[in-house]
């Protein structure tokens, strides 16, 4: 955890770097502003990979704030225990919490995807809601299936179902795509095991149980508001089903089937049951929530210890993954080699995410260790804005400027964590601050965001109409989520 792992602020102010020219709090604030400006410049103009940009800016900020090379990079201790450094501490502190959760969640999502769980879920919901309420069924599919899978994977898997629903009705594809996207985006922004909320939970040292509770409480009203906008815009902009994407979807299905056969995966004739899918998705959430509530409602006892053990995120996700292996894999004819192949392949896109999250931990550690965080805390206190408002605005600005939600979250957390370090805030309040940061990180997805182009490409929407539909949809989801979080923060 960053709060526990980061080195304490130095007892005496640093006098090197820019501080020797400007001095005091003003110098620290100048370094912070220039550091954020440099980060945006490197990502937007230089097109430097965000991990490298965050790491380079962390080093530059640390040296400019007066940290010595020894303080920043560490030195070999006489007891030969290894190299101790702020860089390593910042990265290791956050990745020790995040890596296991993201890895397990990613493999769980992959098994659900390959087994056909998404298609079963969507078809059952379409049958339940009927043709007239098909957009709502699409929204519910995105909301449920979006819990264990990444946003872009959810689009890839579920887009053919949207094509079929829109083609069957003859209506605009926006009417079906936008509710689906709202559901996927809500879970991606507010709920574990997605990287953003998990990383923020680690940096704020907040229980994932509280993040899940507040993610549901904040996310549900937000996604309802987004669904209302989806229905409105879907009736005003007609976008036909893209024929080329229909053909591409069929080719993709054929390719996936070939890959499954090559991996030894033979889909059984009977599709997976909806109850099995919901049980696997819901099990880790319920276990984690049970552990959170037991810590509040129960005194120290063997029962509480057992509940907290099984409700630890590492244990809960491991149980869910093993359930998926058996119920969706082995029991349905998969070989152990098939399970290994699918699991290993799913982890390939995770490396970049983890590196960016780790570099965000480094950035936060440098801000704290250099004294910049304390200067920022003092300045923001003088401004009089509530912490939750500052968290949202900082995240929003970083998101709009450079496009990456993950970068916006980890950079904002590095700035905001010190502001709450000495406030004796409750876990519930800190979880709401995380929700505000997450809400800010999805505001106004536009041309500098990869998600913008994925949506435009997969659903055949022009850039102009994507701005009118998807960009506004994300903004509605963001503002509504923040509004609920800010309101709840007044009572916790």
Our count of domains for the chain comes to 2
Q: Do 359 and 308 share a domain, yes or no?
A: no
Could you tell me if residue 273 is inside a domain?
Answer: yes
* Confidence band of 436 (pLDDT split at 50, 70, 90): very high
pLDDT at residue 243 is higher than 80: no
Higher pLDDT, 40 or 220: 220
State the pTM of this model. 0.85
Q: Do residues 401 and 299 both lie within one domain? A: no
Q: State both tokens at 162.
A: 């949207």
Per the domain annotation, does 194 fall within a domain?
A: no
Residue found under tokens 């669904």: 227
Pair (255, 399) in one structural domain: no
Asked whether residue 395 carries a pLDDT value surpassing 80, the answer given is yes
Per the structure, the complete domain to which residue 84 belongs is given by 2-91+351-489
The Cα 430–Cα 420 span in angstroms is 8
Name the one residue in this structure whose structure tokens are 């965001």.
449
Domain check: are 117 and 57 in the same one?
Answer: no
Strand segments, DSSP code E, in 56-164 are 75-76, 83-84
- 20 falls within a domain: yes
Nearest-angstrom CA–CA distance, 4 and 92: 12
pLDDT for 383 beyond 70: yes
> Final residue of a domain: which of 304, 328, 346?
346
Q: How confident is the model at residue 72 (pLDDT cuts 50, 70, 90)?
A: low
407 and 480 share one domain: yes
139-143, 423-427, 473-477: least confident range: 423-427
What distance in Å separates the CA atoms of residue 395 and residue 3, rounded to the nearest whole number?
Answer: 20
CA atoms of 441 and 194, how far apart (whole Å): 13
**Strand 75-76 vs strand 83-84: parallel, antiparallel, or unpaired?**
antiparallel
Q: What is the mean pLDDT of residues 29-34?
A: 86
In a domain, 357, yes or no: yes
CB burial of 452-465 (b: ≥16 within 10 Å; e: otherwise) equals: bebbbebbbbeeeb
Mean pLDDT (the chain, rounded): 85
pLDDT for the residue numbered 424: 86
- Take residue 399 and report the two structure tokens written for it: 């998101």
Q: CA end-to-end span of the chain, whole Å? A: 23
- For the cut 90, the answer to whether the pLDDT of residue 442 exceeds it is yes
Share of the chain above pLDDT 90, in %: 47
Last residue of a domain, one of 288, 323, 346: 346
With 90 as the cut, is the pLDDT of residue 315 above it?
Answer: yes
The answer to the question of residue 193 being in a domain is no
Query: Same domain for 314 and 167?
Result: yes
If asked whether residues 132 and 261 sit together in one domain, one would say yes
On the question of pLDDT at 83 being above 50, the answer is no
Residues 340, 358 within the same domain: no
pLDDT of residue 374: 78
| Res 254 pLDDT > 70 | no
Provide the pLDDT for residue 258: 66
Q: Is residue 181 part of a domain?
A: yes
Q: Rounded to whole angstroms, how far apart are CA atoms 381 and 268?
A: 61
């Amino acid at each position: 955890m960053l709060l526990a792992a980061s080195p304490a602020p130095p007892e005496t102010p640093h006098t090197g770097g820019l501080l020797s020219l400007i001095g005091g709090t003003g110098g620290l604030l100048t370094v912070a502003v220039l550091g954020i400006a440099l980060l945006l410049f490197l990502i937007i103009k230089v097109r430097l990979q965000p991990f490298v940009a965050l790491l380079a800016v962390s080093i530059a900020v640390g040296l400019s704030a007066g940290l010595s090379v020894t303080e920043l990079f560490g030195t070999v201790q006489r007891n030969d225990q290894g190299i101790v450094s702020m860089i390593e501490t910042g990265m290791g502190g956050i990745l020790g919490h995040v890596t296991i959760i993201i890895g397990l969640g990613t493999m769980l999502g992959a098994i659900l995807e390959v087994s056909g769980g998404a298609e079963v879920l969507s078809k059952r919901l379409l049958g339940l809601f009927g043709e007239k309420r098909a957009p709502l069924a699409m929204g519910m599919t995105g909301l449920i299936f979006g819990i264990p899978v990444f946003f872009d994977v959810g689009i890839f898997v579920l887009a053919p179902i949207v094509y079929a629903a829109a083609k069957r009705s003859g209506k605009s594809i926006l009417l079906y795509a936008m509710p689906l996207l709202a559901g996927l985006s809500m879970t991606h922004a507010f709920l574990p095991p997605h990287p953003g909320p998990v990383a923020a939970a680690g940096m704020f040292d907040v229980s994932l149980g509280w993040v899940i509770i507040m993610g549901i409480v904040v996310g549900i009203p937000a996604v309802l508001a987004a669904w209302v906008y989806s229905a409105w815009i879907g009736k005003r902009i007609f976008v036909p089903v893209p024929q080329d994407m229909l053909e591409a979807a069929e080719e993709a299905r054929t390719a996936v089937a070939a890959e499954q056969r090559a991996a030894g995966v033979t889909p059984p004739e009977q599709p997976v049951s909806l109850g099995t899918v919901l049980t696997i998705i819901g099990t880790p959430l319920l276990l984690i929530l049970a552990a959170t509530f037991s810590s509040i409602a129960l005194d120290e006892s063997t029962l509480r210890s057992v509940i907290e053990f099984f409700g630890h995120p590492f244990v809960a996700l491991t149980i869910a993954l093993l359930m998926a292996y058996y119920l969706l894999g082995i029991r349905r004819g998969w070989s152990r080699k098939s399970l290994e192949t699918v699991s290993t392949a799913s982890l390939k896109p995770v490396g970049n995410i983890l590196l960016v999250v780790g570099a965000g931990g480094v950035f936060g550690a440098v801000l704290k260790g250099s004294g910049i965080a304390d200067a920022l805390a003092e300045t923001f206190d003088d401004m009089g804005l509530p912490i939750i408002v500052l968290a949202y605005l900082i995240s929003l600005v970083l998101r709009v400027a450079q496009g990456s939600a993950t970068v916006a979250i980890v950079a904002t957390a590095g700035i905001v964590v010190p502001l709450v370090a000495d406030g004796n805030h409750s876990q519930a309040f800190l979880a709401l601050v995380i929700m505000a940061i997450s809400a800010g990180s999805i505001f106004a997805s536009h041309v500098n965001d990869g998600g913008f182009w994925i949506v435009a490409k997969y659903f055949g929407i022009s850039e102009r109409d994507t701005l009118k539909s998807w960009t506004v949809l994300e903004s509605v989801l963001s503002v509504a989520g923040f509004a609920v979080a800010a309101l709840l923060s007044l009572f916790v």
